[in-house]
Chains A and B, each alone.
Chain A
């Protein structure tokens, strides 16, 4: 039986209490996207600024639980300054880790790999601190909290290139 310490790792609580890259960016040049978790009413706003194929700045706003807020904070530090192509691979790797299938717990009905690519090609991506969110998978209702900001990031990036 998964305990609270599997979910609320210290690094997660740290990002929750001291969120990084929090706030707004000027639109334009930044692009803004809003994501909702219809289950709990959480919403996250992601701003990204892309220049020459690199995410030069990222910022997050909105409100939510410790998991959604810390995941947004960790996401922002993980993608800032990186190439969009690398970030897309990182998103795939993260969502693979966040899928019940991806962590080998078993069970069908994984709807998280909505780009259909599963974890293919993502195995070599280093997740670093993001590994701390792995325990969320043991609490399936919280998975959407952890992936909300990542899906919203993809939305913002897609809009940048739209």
Chain B
């Protein structure tokens, strides 16, 4: 790909995002932390404002016009989200608070009903804590075994022992794209192997859905979670997609209003899916915002988004290599086509907190820390990394600003 390949989307989309017009310490903001949370385009902010200004009312059961319009807006967003990930039915889209809640829902509801002593759940060493801790909690309660797929060279999963790990497993939990390494995992291959072994597959797609065209059916997943705020949408809204028959069979997660068909003094009858899993008033404006985010990304075209990010990632890897050589390590796959635009860096022996502090002084926003992946940090042998992550609005100028700021940090902390 040409050097300018990364500029395909960035410069034209930047103007869609009001926050990216601001300055930090007299310099234009360089936002490179979209793996933590993306910025929001004007269309998403407008959709949420418009909801509050014109049709704000509680959804379902309202007999008046704006309540019906609010319900319609929410369900239209559900349909748009279903189409965005090629779900067979909008009934399979459960709105949650975030991916964390989506995975906890599966662990608590499906896991509570299906896991016990003698069973096993398999996860990978590169999972986010959100796909580890819920299984630790349930394992302590239910007495099943938690098994680990390790990480091998070049930030790829070590699948040499996969058959043994899956033997007797009931669920495989895997991230579609590592939030630290950027690794795109072979989800389809893992799903086929898991299904052959009689296990279901839960995919943490928090870093995948915002960046690549997603087809839950082609991936072979049984459960797949993602979150709105990493894909141009608001915070507080996430999605659990699961196959309808699984959702039908699972017990409710939270109890309350909306998730019931009938309540008597001696029990209750749960609502149909997806409402069975959506107790209480939902975050309506956020759902509307997520619908607008999906429309925005559809407008850009997810194929173009992916192409843009591969080009920009290649430019970034090349620029950092040219400028800093072996002094700067970018963890994860070296081939841009095998990874997302997440660049976890170790620069000389400068601690990530110190590095990110100097970057911040130059308006460059990156994340420092363990990125909620402590087992992976231990595997890499580092306490933390400095992570820059790319999205639709980033361009080669942002990458250049990062490279310059790293140089300034190197001078500041020169021995």
The verdict on A4 contacting B412 (CB below 8 Å), with A40-B368, A43-B383 known, is: yes
B354 contacts the other chain (CB 8 A): yes
CA distance A79 to B9 in the complex (A): 57
Cβ contacts under 8 Å, B377 to chain A: 41
> Please, which residue of chain B has its CB at the minimum distance from the CB of A8?
B412
B268 contacts the other chain (CB 8 A): no
Q: Which residues of A contact B358 (CB under 8 A)?
A: 4
A17 in contact (CB, < 8 A) = yes
Contact B415 A7 (CB under 8 A): no
Given contacts A4-B357, A17-B415, A139-B357, contact A66 B351 (CB under 8 A): yes
Q: Which chain A residues border B384 with CB–CB below 8 Å?
A: 40-42
Query: Could you tell me if B353 and A67 are in contact, using CB atoms closer than 8 angstroms?
Result: yes
Decide yes or no whether A142 CB sits under 8 A from chain B: yes
For B369, the chain A residues whose CB sits under 8 A away are: 39-41
Chain B residues contacting A43 (CB-CB under 8 Å) are 383
Known: A4-B361, A17-B415, A40-B369. A66 touches B374 (CB 8 A): no
For residue B25, CB closer than 8 A to chain A, the reply is yes
Interface flag for B52 (CB, 8 Å)? no
The A-B contact count (CB < 8 A) is: 47
Taking CB atoms and an 8 Å cut-off, the chain B residues in 343-373 that contact chain A are: 351-354, 357-358, 361, 368-370
Within the complex, the shortest CB–CB distance from A62 to chain B, in Å, comes to 9
Q: By the criterion CB–CB under 8 Å, are A142 and B383 in contact? A: no
Task: Report whether B370 and A41 are in contact in the complex, using a CB–CB cutoff of 8 Å.
Answer: yes
A63 CB-CB contact with B under 8 Å: yes
**Contact present for B383 and A64 (CB under 8 Å):** yes
* Chain B nearest CB, measured from A162 CB (Å): 28
CA distance A1 to B363 in the complex (A): 13
Q: Which residues of A contact B354 (CB under 8 A)?
A: 8, 65-67
Question: Does A128 lie at the interface of the complex (its beta carbon under 8 Å from any beta carbon of B)?
Answer: no
Q: How far is the CB of A145 from chain B (nearest CB, A)?
A: 7
| A41-B377, A64-B383 known; A3+B351 contact, CB < 8 A | no
Q: Which residue from chain A places its CB closest to the CB of B24 in the assembled complex? A: A1
Query: Inside 8 A of B383's CB, which chain A residues have their CB?
Result: 40-43, 63-64
- Fill in one digit per residue for A1-33: 1 if any B CB lies within 8 Å of its CB, else 0: 101100110000100010000000000000000
Complex: A158 Cα to B351 Cα, angstroms? 30
With CB as the reference atom, state the residue of chain A lying closest to B355: A65
CB-CB under 8 A from B25, the residues of chain A are 1
User: In the complex, what distance in Å separates the CA atom of A64 from the CA atom of B354?
Assistant: 10
B370, B383, B412: most-surrounded residue (chain A CB, <10 A): B383
A67 and B356 CA atoms in complex are apart in Å by: 13
On whether the beta carbons of A65 and B412 are closer than 8 Å, the reply is: no
Q: Give A1 to B412 CA distance when docked, in angstroms.
A: 19
Q: Are A40 and B361 in contact (CB under 8 A)?
A: no
Chain B residue at minimum C-beta to C-beta distance from A2: B361
Closest to B26 in A: A1
Q: Within the assembled complex, what's the spacing in Å between the Cα atoms of A42 and B377?
A: 12
Q: Kindly state the separation between the CA atoms of A38 and B357 in the bound complex, as whole angstroms.
A: 18
Cα-based distance from A81 to B374 in the complex (angstroms): 37
Say yes or no: A142 contacts B357, CB within 8 Å: yes
The distance in angstroms between the C-alpha atoms of A67 and B384, with both chains bound, is 15
Report yes or no: A145 in contact with B353, Cβ–Cβ below 8 A: yes
Q: In this complex, which of A4, A17, A67, A142 has the most chain B Cβ atoms within 10 angstroms of its Cβ?
A: A4
Find the B residue at minimum CB distance from A7: B357
With known contacts A40-B368, A41-B370, A41-B377, A142–B361 Cβ distance under 8 A:
no
Chain B positions 372 through 412: 1 when the CB is less than 8 Å from some CB of chain A, otherwise 0: 00100100000110000000000000000000000000001
Considering only CB atoms, which chain B residue lies closest to A4 in the complex?
A: B361
Bound together, the chains give a CA A123 to CA B359 distance in angstroms of 36
B171 to chain A, nearest CB (A): 28
Cβ of A65 and Cβ of B361 under 8 Å apart?
no
Determine if A142 and B412 form an interchain contact, defined as CB atoms under 8 angstroms apart. no
Q: Which residues of B contact A7 (CB under 8 A)?
A: 357
> Which residue of B is nearest A42, CB measured?
B383
Chain A nearest CB, measured from B344 CB (Å): 13
Residues of chain A lying within 8 A (CB to CB) of residue B412 = 4, 8
The interface residues of chain B lying within 8 Å CB-to-CB of A41 are 369-370, 374, 377, 383-384
| Sampled A-B contacts (25; CB under 8 Å) | A3-B361, A4-B357, A4-B358, A4-B361, A7-B357, A8-B354, A17-B415, A39-B369, A40-B368, A40-B369, A40-B383, A40-B384, A41-B370, A41-B374, A41-B383, A41-B384, A42-B353, A64-B351, A64-B353, A64-B383, A66-B351, A66-B354, A139-B357, A142-B357, A145-B353
8 other A-B residue contacts (CB within 8 Å) besides A4-B357, A40-B352 = A4-B361, A13-B413, A39-B369, A40-B368, A42-B353, A64-B351, A66-B351, A66-B353
Cβ-closest 6 pairs across A and B = A65-B353, A65-B351, A41-B370, A41-B383, A40-B369, A41-B384
